[in-house]
Chains A and B, each alone.
Chain A
Amino acid sequence: MTDGKAYRRDVLKAGGAAAALGVGGGGFLQTLVESEEDQPSTSGIESFVGQNDVVQTVCSPNCRGKCPIDVHVRDGQVKKIEPHPPEDEQYKRACVLGLSHTQRVYDPTRLKYPMKRADWSPDKPNPQGRGPDAEFERVSWDEALDLVADKMQSLKADHGAESVLFHEGSGNYGQSGKSFKRLASLFGATQSAWGIDTNVGRGFNRVTGVGAFLPPTNEAEDWENANTIIVWGSDILSSQFQMDASKILDAIENGAKLVVVDPVYTTTASKADLWLPVEPGKDVHLALAMMHTVFEDETYDEDFLRKRTTAPALIRKDTGELLKASDVFEDGGENQVVAVERGSGSPVALEPETGGAYALFGEFTVDGVACETALTRLRDHVADYAPEKVAETTGVDAENIRTAIRWLATRGPGGIAPSYALGRYKHGHIFGQAYAMLMGMTGDYGRHGNIHAHHSGGATLAAGDWASPSDADPGPSLTFPEYPDAMIDGDPHKIRAVYSIESNMMGNQFPDRQRFREAIRSLEMYVVADMHHTDTVQHADIILPVPHWFEQEDICSGWGSHPHLGYRHKVQEPMWEAKDDYYAIRGLAERFGYGDRFPETKRDLLRKFAGRDDDIDFDTLFEQGTQKKESVPIVKYTDAFPTETGRIKMYDDEAPSEEGVTFDVPRPLEDRTADDYEKADEYPLMFMQKHSRFRIHSQYEMLNWVREINPEPQLDIHPKDAKARGIDDGEYVRVYNDRGEMVVKAKYNDAFQPGLVNTDQGWWSRDFVEGHLQDLTHNEVSEVGQTMAFYDVRVAVESAPDDVDTDKYGSDNPRGSGAKATPTGGD
């Protein structure tokens, strides 16, 4: 040695070992290679601080924002993120979660390499090996895809292609789903059908002919024209990440009245002119009381009702069916309904979008058949729902009910902006029907300033039949709530393998978690692609690591927020061996013999997609980063409604029924919130799991920055409910019902009314002291809604047992499980 000092590292005689390992001589350079040039490529200050680049890209979780952002990269490292206004700057936005990607992209717990559960093989799946203790071994991508393809093909041969389910979540808003569905269609696999947040839209659709999730609403830029906004069950100012809040505030600045209907005193409620603290599940009662008030005040929009609704249509009193034009006129249509002209009293067939002197109320006899108008039927129906009568049921002061709806009915255009929360009660579709009709009464469709949902429609990329090519023979589809029966019992058909992308649903976000775990255990193969080690990933047999959004280029639709498409430019190459879902999809397609149906590169694919959408020019989108879709209408509902009559249905003579209740007009039907629910005494508290500002579904769970301010799940409970149970603020409590339990910290929170408790959604198993919030929820859905009813849940709460181990949140470890020792994930 140069200085003659003896170093400890020299004492070992490692030459023999080196030879045995084959690292002697030049063999020791394994991961490093000699550079082509030996000089550093940069000099001076740049060699130290590196080059600074700014890449415009898009944040992509299902907050729906799809916010364009600028990513500052220095020396190959993501350093800073800033919002980038889209082409139409009035839709500028971005939230602090989006800015936190500097931390997320370099999270050491990201998935790195394809993996196989150590004790899984295609022939011996060892389902009991799944779960918290499962061990994994690293495999190559080829090995992983070979295993998946071989198993899928053998299942197809033995049991039919529909025994394989392609499940897609919402965790990455690019275009992967289209190729995923294309592969599923070509293979013939069962495909997933959405079963979350589809309730309200289904009810609304029954009335107007449109609506799937929430119904279409005027784009957010138009909201400032609203004179009254009734936000119903949505904390827009806190848990919505779009510019929606700013648009609400713009409207207020322009003089709009803001009403918030919510069982919770939310941030949004605190900004409202009027807060209606409805009790959980009583929303339909409230809507009917509002209808009652409109009838009582005679503030309904007569012209609108005559021109665009079936309010004047005649109902046969003998059969309850709508009188059809074909019953009255020789050339009358079978789908055409009939009104009576005032004065003459003669029947007239109703055309879409056509006004006339039709009688809105009254009883008439046409061709000897006794009839009454649909509006008469509705008025009689809601006669039982006077505000005073409903006040006790709903917990809302009668005069405030009147004030709220009077503002909407008399102050000019406005709207009702419900959220998905209403659909998280089992029969939530009834609310969709009720408010669609209520807004028909106030004439709030097709005008500037109308609002029908708490987020606007935005723009989606139209890719034609790419997902379901005409020569394919696609398999059946299965809604989320149907999964467990299919996997466990083979009802309606047996699912034996699942390929899951963009989803932490089956292990974390779906209700009745224990049953879904049983469902997973009944599979022969569970393939999960993800960026992080979620609860779902821990249950996989094959794990496919997906890159961070900054490492996969894509086109992001502004669905649900703004009318742009965004180009998600790659900021850096994928780390480790993470690969875009498209790589796996195409790799499987090749193995199935459909390789030529999928372009070789993602760029080619995206160019092809853009070419199918007339509004989009790939190069413009690529260069600008965002492109506004000019064909997206700002004001919705300007044309005939896509119903049989072209009109809003104020009465439905073909209405479905549930539990003996027919929904010809909106009739309250409740499940767990019903006063006479059989276990209401045993489990006296309703349990909600609202979105918080800290997470987007279960994404960002691991971020230390978020954990600093929101370290662990808690139970929001009114002090009165807590004290009645001897529970102190900050004490750990056991929350339980007949399905399961969880242990979390109680938080006195008088924003939640007595009788209602809440744990924010998005936490993973590892965050709970015991159990999980989804151990309490159930998977029972209504026939019409087919939507998971997460909030329609009852629980009991008591102090946690003394021996419960809460060390993970001890005082020496304020950040919780993401910080102390190991963020080992899973369970």
Chain B
Amino acid sequence: MTDQTTASTERERSTERTDESDAFQSDAAATYAVLAECWREPSPRLVAAVEAGELEPVFGDLGSVDLKDLRTEHTRLFIGPAGPPCPPYESVYRDRDDPDELGPVKGPATMAVARWYREFGVQPAQDHSDLPDHIATELEFAAYLAEEGFDERLEQFCDEHLNTWTEAFLERVEDKTSEQFYEALAATTRQVVG
């Protein structure tokens, strides 16, 4: 499924680009990149951007956020130590035998995602300790595909991966979070990838 050659990849590369943002040629890429960054561990820059209203065009009003609160919530939802209630990994939702249980990390779905990355000449950074099918990394890869103009392959990646598990994940986030930021992030992510 994902062992297309580089040649076919080249053929599918779109020559059309948008130039609506300063930095991104693709607005879709910018959107995916913003979502990816928001699913990562909250940074001072994220908080500053929220406070400055810079994210409003994407998320609507996010109210006020506090870095420590946001980090604690991020840790609780996605890292642990308890649970975590919302593991942010594709395989946990894709590779389970039973919808009532959580599947494994580093499952077959994880490997399939890693093959996508390999095919496009990217890989998780050496010092990146998290798994390749983390929501943020998949979105980052989607941004990469969009930015590079691989529109059809982006469509395929979303069909084969992002679209297949994010709904289950986002529902959990909406169910478990008490931070408006993550509710808004979940809703917007659903809108974008759904």
Interface residues of A (CB under 8 A from B): 1-3, 7-10, 12-25, 27-35, 37-41, 47-48, 50, 75-77, 103, 106-113, 115, 118, 135-138, 533, 537-538, 543, 575-577, 704, 813-815, 818-826
**Set of chain A residues within 8 Å of B186, measured between Cβ atoms:** none
Encode B121-140 as 1/0 by CB contact (under 8 A) with A.
11111101111001011001
* Minimum CB–CB distance for A51 against chain B, Å: 12
Q: Which secondary structure dominates chain A's binding surface?
A: loop
Q: Are B111 and A75 in contact (CB under 8 A)?
A: yes
* Residue in chain A with minimal CB distance to B106: A106
Contact residues of B between 20 and 69, Cβ < 8 Å to A: 20-24, 27-34, 36-38, 40-41, 45-46, 48-49, 52, 54-55, 57-58, 68
Bound state CA distance, A47 and B119, in angstroms? 10
* Minimum CB–CB distance for A740 against chain B, Å: 23
Which one of B28, B32, B34 has the highest number of Cβ atoms from chain A below 10 Å of its Cβ? B34
**Set of chain B residues within 8 Å of A21, measured between Cβ atoms:** 33-34, 37-38, 45-46, 49, 54-55
* Minimum CB–CB distance for B59 against chain A, Å: 8
Q: Are A822 and B123 in contact (CB under 8 A)?
A: no
* Residue in chain A with minimal CB distance to B117: A32
Bound state CA distance, A40 and B4, in angstroms? 10
Residue B151 interfacial (CB < 8 Å): yes
Q: Given A21-B38, A31-B140, A115-B75, 13 other A-B contacts at CB below 8 A?
A: A2-B151, A8-B192, A13-B20, A14-B24, A18-B21, A33-B126, A38-B121, A106-B106, A108-B87, A108-B102, A109-B83, A109-B102, A825-B81
Encode B5-31 as 1/0 by CB contact (under 8 A) with A.
010000000101010111110011111
Bound state CA distance, A543 and B18, in angstroms? 47
Task: Report if A35-B118 is in contact (Cβ < 8 Å); known contacts: A20-B55, A76-B111, A818-B101.
Answer: yes
Q: Are B81 and A19 in contact (CB under 8 A)?
A: no
Q: Are B152 and A20 in contact (CB under 8 A)?
A: no
Q: Are B92 and A35 in contact (CB under 8 A)?
A: no
Smallest CB-CB A-B distances: 5 pairs: A15-B21, A24-B23, A106-B104, A20-B54, A38-B121
* Residue in chain B with minimal CB distance to A48: B3
Q: Are B124 and A10 in contact (CB under 8 A)?
A: no
Bound state CA distance, A24 and B55, in angstroms? 14
Sample of 17 A–B contacts (CB below 8 Å): A1-B16, A8-B194, A9-B28, A13-B58, A15-B27, A24-B33, A32-B122, A77-B107, A77-B111, A108-B84, A108-B105, A138-B79, A538-B82, A815-B98, A815-B100, A822-B83, A826-B82
**Set of chain A residues within 8 Å of B102, measured between Cβ atoms:** 108-109, 819, 823
Q: Are A575 and B45 in contact (CB under 8 A)?
A: no
Task: Report if A537-B81 is in contact (Cβ < 8 Å); known contacts: A15-B23, A18-B23, A19-B23.
Answer: yes
Bound state CA distance, A704 and B57, in angstroms? 43
* Residue in chain B with minimal CB distance to A41: B118
**Set of chain A residues within 8 Å of B152, measured between Cβ atoms:** 2-3
Residue B170 interfacial (CB < 8 Å): no
The 8 Å CB contact of B151, one of A1, A29, A39, A115, is: A1
Task: Report if A825-B83 is in contact (Cβ < 8 Å); known contacts: A10-B27, A24-B30, A106-B104.
Answer: yes
**Set of chain A residues within 8 Å of B124, measured between Cβ atoms:** 31-33
Bound state CA distance, A795 and B89, in angstroms? 45
Bound state CA distance, A822 and B89, in angstroms? 15
Q: Are B57 and A107 in contact (CB under 8 A)?
A: no
Task: Report if A575-B71 is in contact (Cβ < 8 Å); known contacts: A12-B192, A24-B23, A28-B143.
Answer: no
Task: Report if A111-B80 is in contact (Cβ < 8 Å); known contacts: A12-B31, A20-B54, A118-B72.
Answer: yes
Q: Are A12 and B57 in contact (CB under 8 A)?
A: yes
Q: Are A18 and B34 in contact (CB under 8 A)?
A: yes
Q: Are A33 and B83 in contact (CB under 8 A)?
A: no
**Set of chain A residues within 8 Å of B176, measured between Cβ atoms:** 822
**Set of chain B residues within 8 Å of A29, measured between Cβ atoms:** 122, 140, 144
**Set of chain B residues within 8 Å of A577, measured between Cβ atoms:** 129
Q: Are B125 and A33 in contact (CB under 8 A)?
A: yes
Bound state CA distance, A786 and B176, in angstroms? 46
Task: Report if A23-B100 is in contact (Cβ < 8 Å); known contacts: A33-B123, A111-B81.
Answer: no
**Set of chain B residues within 8 Å of A113, measured between Cβ atoms:** 79, 129
Q: Are A30 and B37 in contact (CB under 8 A)?
A: yes
Q: Are A31 and B31 in contact (CB under 8 A)?
A: no
Bound state CA distance, A328 and B126, in angstroms? 80
Q: Are A137 and B33 in contact (CB under 8 A)?
A: no
Which one of A17, A37, A76, A575 has the highest number of Cβ atoms from chain B below 10 Å of its Cβ? A17
**Set of chain B residues within 8 Å of A50, measured between Cβ atoms:** 111
Task: Report if A34-B122 is in contact (Cβ < 8 Å); known contacts: A13-B27, A20-B49.
Answer: yes
* Residue in chain B with minimal CB distance to A113: B79
Q: Are A137 and B71 in contact (CB under 8 A)?
A: yes
The 8 Å CB contact of B105, one of A106, A818, A820, A822, is: A106
Q: Are B14 and A9 in contact (CB under 8 A)?
A: no
Task: Report if A137-B72 is in contact (Cβ < 8 Å); known contacts: A17-B49, A28-B147, A113-B79.
Answer: yes
Q: Are B122 and A704 in contact (CB under 8 A)?
A: no
Bound state CA distance, A307 and B85, in angstroms? 67
* Residue in chain A with minimal CB distance to B57: A13
The 8 Å CB contact of B75, one of A37, A75, A137, A822, is: A137
Q: Are A23 and B92 in contact (CB under 8 A)?
A: no
* Minimum CB–CB distance for B22 against chain A, Å: 6
**Set of chain B residues within 8 Å of A704, measured between Cβ atoms:** 97-98, 101
The 8 Å CB contact of A34, one of B23, B89, B111, B121, is: B121
Task: Report if A23-B14 is in contact (Cβ < 8 Å); known contacts: A32-B141, A40-B118, A113-B79.
Answer: no
The 8 Å CB contact of B45, one of A7, A8, A14, A22, is: A22
**Set of chain A residues within 8 Å of B16, measured between Cβ atoms:** 1-2
Encode B159-194 as 1/0 by CB contact (under 8 A) with A.
000000000000010001000000000001001111
Q: Are A825 and B82 in contact (CB under 8 A)?
A: yes
* Minimum CB–CB distance for B42 against chain A, Å: 11
Bound state CA distance, A775 and B131, in angstroms? 39
* Minimum CB–CB distance for A418 against chain B, Å: 39
* Minimum CB–CB distance for A491 against chain B, Å: 32
* Residue in chain A with minimal CB distance to B55: A17
Q: Are A14 and B34 in contact (CB under 8 A)?
A: yes
**Set of chain A residues within 8 Å of B28, measured between Cβ atoms:** 7, 9-10
* Residue in chain A with minimal CB distance to B12: A2
**Set of chain B residues within 8 Å of A28, measured between Cβ atoms:** 24, 29, 33, 36-37, 140, 143-144, 147
Bound state CA distance, A17 and B29, in angstroms? 12
Q: Are A103 and B191 in contact (CB under 8 A)?
A: no
**Set of chain A residues within 8 Å of B89, measured between Cβ atoms:** 108
* Minimum CB–CB distance for B14 against chain A, Å: 5
Which one of A10, A13, A31 has the highest number of Cβ atoms from chain B below 10 Å of its Cβ? A31
* Residue in chain A with minimal CB distance to B14: A2
